[in-house]
Amino acid sequence: MDEDAKRVQPKKGHLFPLVAGVILMVALGGFGLTRLYPPSVPDHVSQSEAKERSEAFAKIKSFPVSIVPQEKTVATLANMGLKPPELEALSQALAQPSAKTTPVGSPSPAAAVGSEQKVSLVELVLWDTHAPDGDMVRITSAGYARDVLLSKIPTVIHVPGIGAGVIQVTGLKDGGGGITLGIKGSQQSVLMPIMSEGQSLSLPVNFQ
């Protein structure tokens, strides 16, 4: 074999260490990612805690929530993700001194016929009371719905509110172990009962 052929021929002994090195780097990289981004852990709620939350929720007669100041209404509306027709309709309703409406969750439309109450924007703070495992809920009030992915960091949302009515809370996604939702109003917080996907609960509220 001439000198040029010897120069071109690869050394077989170097291939295995190279492959082994790549595998090791991938393994270490995967370990690092699991350290930086650990897999979500399902909620673990004891039976006693679930019972306490349900009993406390059942005792709520009126949950006070804060009304957005008038000078902040325009900026708040802009951040609600409304389509142009919805934005215009809600803006007009907020501008009226009162409006004939049927609050969401009213026992019957007849009960609200002729009632005239002012529409206001109200503020709610939502968070996941346990593991941030991907729980998601839908908040519905006065015909407006907002989907919220829960986390340990409180999420501030705004919805229209009418006098003393209800806010509907619907479970959209359970990350495991039940949907664990906390809601903060103007004066107090409530730990909602452990919810399942598709379940809806009515929170009686007083828009102040």
Same domain, 27 and 125: no
Mean pLDDT, the chain, whole residue set: 79
Q: Quote the CA–CA distance of 169 and 74 in Å, as a whole number.
A: 26
Q: Is residue 164 part of a domain?
A: yes
Instruction: Output 145 or 114, whichever has higher pLDDT.
Output: 145
**Would you state the pLDDT for residue 64?**
94
Same domain, 19 and 59: no
Same domain, 26 and 115: no
Which residue type occupies 137? Answer: V
Q: Is residue 84 predicted with pLDDT exceeding 60? A: yes
Give the global pTM. Answer: 0.71
Q: Which residue, 162, 205, 175, is CA-closest to 65?
A: 205
Q: Is residue 112 part of a domain?
A: yes
**31 backbone φψ class: left, alpha, beta (φ>0; ψ -120 to 50):** alpha
Number of domains in the chain: 2
Same domain, 66 and 28: no
Q: Is residue 20 part of a domain?
A: yes
Same domain, 86 and 156: yes
Q: Give residue 103's pLDDT band: very low, low, confident or very high (50, 70, 90).
A: very low
Same domain, 116 and 155: yes
CA distances from 118 to 92, 101, 112, 146 (A): 12, 9, 13, 21
Same domain, 81 and 145: yes
Structure confidence by residue, pLDDT tens digits, 176-190: 999 999 999 999 999
Same domain, 136 and 193: yes
Looking at the chain, the whole-number percentage of residues with pLDDT higher than 90 is 60
Q: Is residue 200 predicted with pLDDT exceeding 80? A: yes
Q: Is residue 120 predicted with pLDDT exceeding 60? A: yes
Same domain, 126 and 179: yes
Residues of the domain holding 145 = 47-207
Question: Per-residue pLDDT averaged across 110-129, rounded?
Answer: 75
Same domain, 118 and 67: yes
Question: Per-residue pLDDT averaged across 98-118, rounded?
Answer: 46
Q: Is residue 4 part of a domain?
A: no
Structure confidence by residue, pLDDT tens digits, 32-48: 444 444 456 677 889 99
Same domain, 79 and 175: yes
Q: Quote the CA–CA distance of 161 and 178 in Å, as a whole number.
A: 28
Same domain, 25 and 102: no
- Dihedral (Cα; 44, 46, 50, 55), 10-degree rounding: -150
